[in-house]
């Protein structure tokens, strides 16, 4: 009876070890970008989900609005790495250049933000001019038209700004998504570098198995 129990335990331990190995393979992080040096491959194998979380905590971007402008913040309590808004010229594309999809979305943001700022600004000016003319009891029929045109331009500008901010949100999403795939090296976990400092893969990355 004791022999049988021992055999059962031994068999159980063997199956358990085999299963654990299979799970480790399933959770292995994808190869990191730069395979030019052998160290990156070794570090990729040593990666754990904790590396991914640490990287996200330190590097992932988010946005917070502040009276007409939007701060881009890095990490949990990280610094403000840039401010975007009406006529602000912060280069979001450069910030997220390590992720191709994020860069595309950042370009869309830049385009819409500029056009939205311009059209919205012109609309606001026209609306105010129309309001001043109307309040001065001007009998000119053009003054109400100025207000209508100004309001319309403001709405159009607002729509463009809205599209721009959606693109910015998408850009952050893609950038944060690619952080886990790009950042693996344990040596850099304690002193994380910005993603742009890391090598970026030229080819599409393989899907991650979690």
Output phi, psi for 53, to 5 deg: -65, -40
CA 113 – CA 207 distance, rounded (Å): 33
The answer to whether residues 56 and 179 touch, using CB atoms and an 8 Å cutoff, is: yes
- CA-wise closest residue to 29 among 183, 158, 190: 183
- 118, 169, 186, 200: which one binds another protein (CB under 8 A): 169
- Minimum CB separation of residue 16 from another protein in Å reads 7
Mind giving me the DSSP string for 177-209? Answer: HHHHHH---GGGTSSPPPGGGS---SSPPPPPP
Site string for another protein, 16-35 (x = CB under 8 A): x--x--xx--xx--------
The answer to whether residue 38 forms part of the interface with another protein (CB under 8 A) is no
Instruction: Indicate the DSSP class of residue 83.
Output: E
Does the protein bind another protein through residue 155 (CB under 8 A)? yes
| Binder among 90, 109, 165, 175 for another protein (CB under 8 A) | 165
CB of 103 to another protein, least distance (A): 16
* Among 159, 186, 199, 200, interactor with another protein by CB under 8 A: 159
Chain-centroid distance, C-alpha 113: 17
Q: Give me the numbers of helices (H) and strands (E) for the chain, helices first please.
A: 6, 3
109 binds another protein (CB under 8 A): no
Rounded-to-integer distance, Cα 142 and Cα 159, Å:
25
Mask 47-76, x = binds another protein (CB under 8 A)? --x--xx--xx--x-xxxxxx---------
Residues in contact with another protein, total (CB under 8 A)? 44
The residue ranges that bind another protein (CB under 8 A) are 1, 4-5, 7-9, 11-12, 15-16, 19, 22-23, 26-27, 49, 52-53, 56-57, 60, 62-67, 155, 158-159, 162-163, 165-166, 169-170, 172-173, 176-177, 180, 207-208, 210
């Amino acid at each position: 009876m004791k022999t049988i129990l021992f055999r059962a335990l031994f068999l159980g331990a063997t199956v358990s070890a085999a299963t654990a190995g299979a799970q480790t393979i399933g959770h292995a992080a994808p190869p990191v970008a730069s395979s030019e040096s052998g160290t990156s491959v070794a570090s990729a194998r040593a990666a754990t989900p904790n590396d991914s979380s640490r990287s996200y905590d330190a590097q992932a971007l988010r946005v917070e609005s502040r009276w007409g402008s939007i701060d881009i913040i890095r990490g949990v309590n990280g610094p403000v790495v840039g401010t975007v808004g009406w006529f602000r010229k912060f280069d979001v594309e450069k910030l997220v250049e390590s992720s191709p999809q994020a860069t595309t979305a950042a370009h869309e943001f830049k385009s819409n933000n500029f056009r939205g700022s311009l059209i919205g600004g012109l609309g606001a000016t026209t609306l105010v001019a129309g309001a001043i003319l109307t309040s001065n009891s001007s009998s000119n029929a053009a003054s109400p038209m100025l207000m209508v045109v100004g309001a319309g331009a403001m709405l159009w500008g607002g729509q463009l700004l809205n599209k721009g901010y959606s693109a910015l949100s998408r850009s952050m999403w893609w950038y944060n998504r690619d952080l886990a795939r790009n950042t693996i090296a344990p040596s850099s976990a304690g002193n994380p570098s910005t993603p742009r400092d890391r090598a970026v893969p030229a080819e599409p990355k393989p899907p991650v198995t979690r």
